[in-house]
Structure 1
Amino acid sequence: MSDNSKTGAMEEMRFRLLIDAVVDYAIYMIDPDGIITSWNSGAKRFKGYEEAEILGEHFSRFYTTDDRAAGLPQRALDTAVREGRYEGEGWRVRKDGTNFWCHVVIDPIIAPDGRLLGFAKITRDLTDRKMAEETLKRSEQQFRLLVQGVTDCAIYMLSPEGRVSNWNQGAQRIKGYTPEEIIGEHFSVFYTPEDRELGEPARALDIATREGRFENRSWRVRKDGTRFLAHVVVDAIRGETGTLLGFAKITRDVTQAHEAQLALEKTREALFQAQKMQAIGQLSGGIAHDFNNLLTVILGNLEILQKRIGDEPKISRLLENATQGALRGVSLTQRMLAFARRQELKTEPVDIPQLVQGITGLLRSSLGPGIHIETRFAPDLSPVLADSNQLELAVLNLATNARDAMPDGGTVVISAQPEVVLEQSYSALTPGHYVCLSLIDSGEGMDTETLAQARDPFFTTKGLGKGTGLGLSMVHGFIEQLGGRFVLKSEKGHGTAAELWLPVIGEGVTAKPSRLPVEPIAVPRLSVLVVDDDSLVLTSTSLLLEDLGHRVINATSAARALALFDEGEVIDLMITDMAMPTMSGAQLAHAVRLLKPDLPIILATGYAERLEGFAAQLPRLPKPFTQLNLVEVIAQAMK
C-alpha cells in the first residue's frame, strides 16, 4: 500500500472516530434509495437503535405514519437532489414509539462524474426547545386571552412614540373605540384639550421612560366626548439590551368610586354638622333653661319692687330700664330655645300667601324705602302645618338679614311653590309634599366659609354688639322642629336665597288648638305648695304668690314635697318645676295625683319638654313669668 493510501485510510478512520464521538447529533449516511449505510453514537442515543438493528433499513421508519403516508421522506430526498440541500423541522419516531421534535439537514453526496452516491443526514433533537416554545406559545395565548377578556380595565400597548399598537375589550368598553378605529393613533387623543395644551401626554411618557413607571389620576375623554376620571399606570417596556420597545398602559375608570367617596365625605360632613348642631343645641337649651331661672328671679323681684316703691319717678325709671334689660334676656333665651328645638309650638294650618300678605306692611316699614319687595306665589298652594307666630318671626328675621346685606338698597323676592320630596331626594326630609317658602335678595351674598357657618349659633357678620348670631339658628331650629328643612344658598356677589321647606298639612290632620288667654278671675286665698330645686326661683315665686295673698309652702325637692303630703299638710294647689334631679316635676305630679286625685297642679318650665299622659294636659307656667302670668295660670288650674 502506498503512503498516500495509508494516509487516506488513516484520515478516513479519524473522520469515522470523530463522527462516532458526536452524541448530540445523529449523523449517518443513506444510499440513493434511502437505505441507511452508517450510524453514529448520537443517532443511537436519541433514536434508540443499535447500529446492527438499523443498517440496511430505510430511513423513512423514523417518520410518523402520517408523514410517510404523505410521502414526506421521498420529498425530502428529492428536494436535496434538486436544490443541493434539504433543511426542515418535524416530528420523528424513536425505536420505543415515542415522538421527538428534530431539526434535519440532508445533503446529497455527488461523485466527481456527477453520479449520486447517497446522502449525508444530520438530525438534532430539539424536543426541549419545541416544548419550551409550545409552553411559551400557550402562555402567550392564555395571556392574550386574559388581557382580551378583561373588561374592567383598559390594557393596551404603545409604541415608543406613543401610538396605540393593540387594544383589549376593556379599552373598547371604557373609551368607546374599536381596535380598527384606534390602533395606530396617538394615545393623546384620550386626554382633555386642557391637558394636551399643558403637554401631559408627553410628560407621562417622559416620566415612564426615565423612572420606569408613571401613575396618576386625571380626567380622560371617551370617543363620544364624555369625560371620566381615570387611574392610569404607564410602564416602560425594554429589551434585554435596554432598548425602549414601548409602553404598557393600564387605565381604570374610577369615576363611580370617586363620586362614592365624595358622597361619603359629604355624608360624613353632614353627620359631623348634625352632631355639632345637636351638641350646641343641647348646650344652648341647658343655658336657656338656667338663664330663664335667673330671669324669673330678676323679673319677679323687679315686679314686686315696682309695686312697693310707689310713685318715685327716678326709681321707677331705673326699675323700668332693668325690666327692659331682663326682657331682652327673655327674647335671647327664646331664640336659644328655638335653635335647640325646645320651644312650645302651637301648630295650626297656615296659608302662606295670607300670612305673608298679613305682615307686608310690617315688612315694608322694617326694611325701609330702599328695599323693594316682590311676592310670587304659586296658585292653589296647600296650607302648611306651622306655628304662625314663629313663622312670621322667621320671615321677618330673614327679611331683616336681606336688608342688612343690601346697604345700598335692592330687591327681596318672597315666593312659595309646592314641592314633592321623593325617596332619598333629601336625607333630612321625610318623603312627602311640602311648600318651599323662599326669600331671595340681590345683596352681597356669602363666600363658602361664611355660608358654612351662617346657621351656627352666635355666628354673626354684623359686628360687635349689632347682632346676637341667633337669628338663623332660631329659624333652623324652628323649621326642623316642624319636620321641615332650612336651606341657605349663596354666592359672593350674587345674593342669598333662604328656603323654608314646610310640610303640607295632611288629610284629616287637625292642628292642636292653641289655648286662649284665660281671663283672670278672683280666686280665694290658697295654700300653695311651690317645689323648685333652685332656691332663688323658689324664693321669688313665693314672694309673688304671697304678694297675691296666698299662703306659700316651700319644698326644694320632690322627696320633700311628698313628705309634706304624708305629714298631712293642707295644700290647695301645687306649682312644681319640671327639671329637678332624682324626680322630675312630671314624675312628682304623677305621684301626687295618686295621693290627691283632685289636687290642681301647675308645671313650671324653662323650656317646653315633650310630655305624655295626664302631665301633657296640666297647665304650664313658662319661665320667666310675671305676677299676671301667675294669676292667669292659677285661675286656669282652679277652674
Structure 2
Amino acid sequence: MSARPNVREAVVITALDGRVLSWATAAQELTGWAADEVVGRRSPLTPERSEAARCLDVLRAEALATGRGTGEVACVLADGSTLVCVADVHLLLDLAQGQAGFCEVLRPVVDAADALPAHEALLEQVVGHAIVRLDPEGVVRSWSLGAVRMKGYRAEEIVGRHFTAFYTDVDRANGRPAMLLDMARRDGLARDVGWRVRADGSRFWGEISINALHAPDGELSGFLKVTRDLTPDKLREIEHQKLFRALGHDLRNPLAAARGFIDVARENLADDPAHAATGALLERSGLALVRITSMLDELLRTVTHASTNDHSQQAHPLRLTDAAAQVLGDLSALHDVRRVELDLGAATVYATSVDLIRVLSNLVGNALRYSDGVVRVAATVGAESVDITVGDSGRGIHPDDLASIFELGTRGRMAEEGDGGHGDGLASVRYLVEKHGGTVHIDSRLDVGTTVTVSLPRDYRSPGAGAGAGALAEEGA
C-alpha cells in the first residue's frame, strides 16, 4: 500500500515502555488507526515480537543513549497492509512531571515510481529536528535534546514558558504564533517556514509543523511542534539573490543607455521625411528595449521574491487600498489610471505586499491595455476570504481561449500586436494567488468585457495551502 498522498509525516508520543501517550490527527490519517484504539496501549503499528517491534526498540535504545535514532520500520496499518516508514525517534524530556518518553516522527518511504525523494534524501530530511510538546495554550511542557542543540535553551530554561519565545518581534506583533495554533486546532496540522529566534537572540530559518494531540475522548490535550533547521539552504538562497540583484543593476544600465541613444537618434531624424522609415525602425527598437527591460524586472522580482531583508516579503494583513494606490502609481507611467474606479472599502487580505501588488498590477494593467472605458476594482469581504474583482468593458477573450488563458505564453486570439505583453501575466496571477491558498476565476464575453475574480484569505494559511501547481510553478517561477 502506498502512503496517503496528503500525509507527509505522522507524530506519535510514547512512554519509555512503548505505551502510546498521544496519537496526532496525521497519525490517524496515515495509518487508519483511531486514537481510542491506540492510546494507552503498545502501538499496533509494530506488533509485539515482530521484526518491526525489534527495529523500533533498537531506535529507542539509540534515542536513550544519544537523543535520537533513525531507521526504517515496516508499519502495520489498520487495513492489514504494510507501509515502510523512516522512523525518527527522539528522547522527549518532561521536567515538569519528572518523566521522559519518546517522540516518533514517521515519514512514509514512497515507491521510486512516485518520483519523490529516495531513501537517502528522506534520511537527510529527518536530520536536525527539534521536538517540543506544548499544552493547549501553547506553553512548553516537554523538550528534546534536538531542541537543546537547535534552539539553545536547556530544558529547565524553557519548560513552562510560552512558545512565542521562539518567534521574531514582527511575527508576535502580527499574531503569527496564535494563527498557527488556531490552524492546528482546526485542521489537525499547521505548517510554516520562516525565521525563528534562539536563546541567544540569533536567528535560524526553520521549517515547522505543529500537530494537534488529542486524548482518547477526543479532547485537545496539546500540540507537538517539530522544527527542522534549514539555515544553510536559506543563506545560499540569500547569496543567490544578491547575485541576481547585482546582475540586474548591471544589465539595466546598458539597456537604459541604449534607449537613450535611440531617443536621441529619433529626435534628430524627426524633421527629415527621407528618414521616416529609419525613424519607424528606431521606434520599434525602442519598444523592444522597453519590453526587454520589463521582462528583466519581472525575472528579477521572481528570483528574489523571498528576500529576507524586505518586510514586504513576509505575509501579514494588508489593506487593499494601500496596495492599489501603489499599483496605480506604478501604472501611471504607461496608462491613464484616471479610468480606474476603486471600491475596496477597508478590506484586508493576508499576503505578502510584493505578491499582492504583482497580482493587482497584472490584472489592472491588462484591463487598461485591452479596454478604453472604466476599469472597476472592487472587494467583497466574506467569512474567511475576500473576493477582489477587476472588470472592464473591453474586447473580451474568445470563448475558445478561456480554458488556456492562464497558461504561460498564452495571449489569446483577440490580442493585437500593438497591445504589448507576452501572455505571462495571468499565469503569474494564478501562481501567486494559489501560493497564498487562494483561487482565481475569469469571466469574459466578446465585445462586452472581462472580469477576473481573485479570492484571497483574510487570515493566515500555511505556505502551499493552495494548489500552487500552475504552469508558472512548473517553469520554476
TM category (shorter chain) comes to 0.3 to 0.5
After TM superposition, the score normalised by the length of structure 1 is 0.25
After TM superposition, the score normalised by the length of structure 2 is 0.33
Larger radius of gyration: 1
